[in-house]
Structure 1
Amino acid sequence: MMKKVFLITAALILAISCSGSPTDPTGDGGLIDEGSGTTDPNQISAFLNKYPGRYYVEDADGAIYINYRIEGSKIYEGESTTEMQGSKTLSGNKLQVEIPGNTSSQYGSDWNTSMEILNFSDSGIQVFQKLILSKDNFSTISGYQKVTTISGLKKYAGNYYQYQGYNDGTGSSTVEKYSIFTIDSSGNIYITNNMASQTRCSLDGDVLTLDFTDGVYKCILQENRAIASTFINNVEYSTTSKKSDLLTPYKGTYTGEAVTLTVDEADAVITSGNLMNPTAILNGKDLIIYDSWRENDVPKKEEHKIVFNDDGTATYTKPDSTEVTLTKN
């Protein structure tokens, strides 16, 4: 998965530019209520077993990325071979996954806990990504200014933050807390100086709405954190990961004319040219390895096409239409 940077000033832009095009809602991004659904791993495994495949998303430049792989009743993130970690709750066709932060990572964004709501259908997965904001006791921070006062916010006083990594110029990175907003004991809410004048705030029950020029954050305020969702044109932002077939039936190494194709359960890699950003998608016996890059700020994409034959060979068609027969070792 691509790294997500959760600065409030950039999050609305990043939600679009880093996660593909938004989709019309067919599922539900709401949280599964505590006490409902099931956390039984056997029931969740049985549910996942109905949706095997590798699921991918295409970004605005046409680049393709694997978001999830479901195989053997387990779900994996991206092209990882390690099962997706975190607490999982299932309700109907909705799987809620809360992924703990990795504080041993050198990347500050990896330290943050995240949440994904996955709505399953036969054609793909509609994905709603939530920002989990941790909470410290309230303290005054330089560079923040008051936006408004809401009496109902008093009981939610605190500094709501995510971790960010900063390069110190020596090749090392420093991880620091970045407060998205702060609330004092009088119900005053504070946001960075450069955003305060563009922000309107309101409270409905435990849901704090931060209304910006380009979109809206809705934050469910809890005792020790907030769970934030992005809304655009009054619709919660989501993406749809399309389904492709599993690679496992064609695992192995195929060679021919100085070309090597290596297929494992998570990915397929070919040694042909200098591929920049390859992603393999299998449908039936047809494997396409898409390569994407930018040249003079113009997006480019090539397709390396492989057809798996019944005799154990594979026919590889290069981007220039040259064909090579690959034999499985």
Structure 2
Amino acid sequence: MIKKFLLISAFIIFAVSCSGNNSNQTSSNSIITNASEISNFLKKYDGRYYHQHEFTNGSYTHVAFRIENGNMYIGEDKTPASELYLSGNSLELNVNGNTQLSNTYNQIYSIIEVNLFDDHLKFSGKNIFDKEDFNIPDEDYIVIKQFKELGNYAGNYYIPTYDSNGQIKVKNYTILIDKEGNIYGYKGMTNVGMTFTLNGNMLQSEHNDKNNEKVIMSYELEKDRIIYQINFIYGKEYSYELMKSDIFTPYLGTYSSGDIIVKVEENNASINTAKGDYHSSIINGNDLTISEIFFENNENPIEIKEHKIIFSDDKTKASYTEPDGTTIELIKQ
């Protein structure tokens, strides 16, 4: 008997703000894997791409991607992402559960599909369900659909949770298929009217959420795994839209005056006087804003302080405005 897991929890849709229109995917285009070609494509889209978080007392930013010199970086990583695949303006990358995205999007994705535009990007995530041999589920699981063709993909599919040593701690079972092609689901799935269709190796489910909004999810079946994706939710095709800001490279260096030090690196900008629980930095033109956000119980943002820095055109000095309005001139060291 497998360990009981509330299957319906695997289909919980987290409360996030999604873009109303999905990206302009061009499935008819051939897939490019050549690193040089992908790099040349990315060179047209230099920028740092971020989401604006709104809360009661203001808003703050979270940078999800940086594109620079033909490379793509996740969050504030200094090492570029690898395993990139390009089709049209759609780029797919293996993020291997990079937690910098989970900080914002409440998901630890395995694969990200990014669509690039001149002043923004859109992305959606996919998760990988690992596979083990089929094992009869407990009495809380029932057969909810059968496709005989699915017998070729029989198995228990799960998302692993790892311990601090990198060993699997918990197998969170998501979908179970036996050799007769029966799909087993937790009893609660029938309460939301979940239905399934099959087209080749692509299994698709559809149901209505508590607000009677349609939810469509797909499961791409492979020999030893399933690639899972939310396709449609909240009455919209599912994707996140990120705004574009400039890169830091033209301003690299340390700017200081007395005890105040502003440090600009390729992946981040910081000020030594910021003491908040979370820091973010955005630059557009010569204007840099470093935000420090304070959280209640390490969860709810309650206060934001902004540090405003305006660089001179020759990048040798900067005017710094403290959160209290005091202005100080900083000199590049």
Q: TM-score, normalised by structure 1?
A: 0.82
2:179 aligned residue (185, 203, 223): 185
User: Shift of the alpha carbon at 1:176?
Assistant: 2.5
Q: Aligned-residue CA RMSD in angstroms?
A: 2.8
Distance 1:194-1:11 versus aligned 2 partners, 3 A rule: closer
Instruction: Read off the aligned partner of 1:58 and give its amino acid letter.
Output: Q
Deviations 1:273-319 (A, max 9, x none): 41221111000000011222334846432221100013511111111
Alignment partner, residue 24 of structure 1: 20
Aligned to 2:90: 94
Query: Equivalents in 2 of 1:282, 1:227: separation in Å?
Result: 36
Letter in 1 for 2:263: T
Deviates further, 241-250 or 285-294: 285-294
Question: Please, which of 37, 41, 46 is the counterpart of residue 43 of structure 1?
Answer: 37
Give the Cα–Cα distance (whole angstroms) in 2 for the partners of residues 328 and 114 of structure 1: 41
Q: Share of identical aligned residues, percent?
A: 32
Q: Which amino acid letter does the alignment assign opposite residue 273 of structure 2?
A: S
Alignment-mate amino acid for residue 218 of structure 1 = S
Structure 1, 318-327 or 219-228: larger mean CA deviation: 219-228
Question: Deviation digits for residues 52-94 of structure 1, max 9, x if unmatched?
Answer: 1111112353332111111111111100101113x22111111
Secondary structure at 1:63 match in 2 = strand
After TM superposition, give the deviation of residue 155 of structure 1 in Å: 2.9
Count of aligned pairs: 304
Deviation at 1:225, TM superposition (A): 1.8
Unaligned runs of 5+ in 1: 1-6, 103-111
Query: 1:112-261 counterparts in 2 under 5 A?
Result: 114-142=110-138, 144-152=140-148, 153-165=150-162, 175-192=169-186, 195=189, 197-198=191-192, 200-205=194-199, 206-211=202-207, 213=209, 215-230=215-230, 231-261=232-262
- Which residue in 2 is equivalent to 1:109? none
Partner of 1:321: 325
Counterpart in the other structure of 1:308? 311
How far residue 151 of structure 1 moved from its aligned partner, in angstroms, is: 2.5
Report SS of the residue matched to 1:49: helix
> Does the 8 Å CA contact 1:208/1:221 hold for their aligned counterparts?
no
Amino acid across the alignment from 2:322: K
- Residue 100 of structure 1, CA deviation: 4.2
Structure 2 unaligned segments of length 5 or more: list them. 1-6, 99-107
Q: 1:275 to 1:113 in 2, by over 3 A?
A: closer
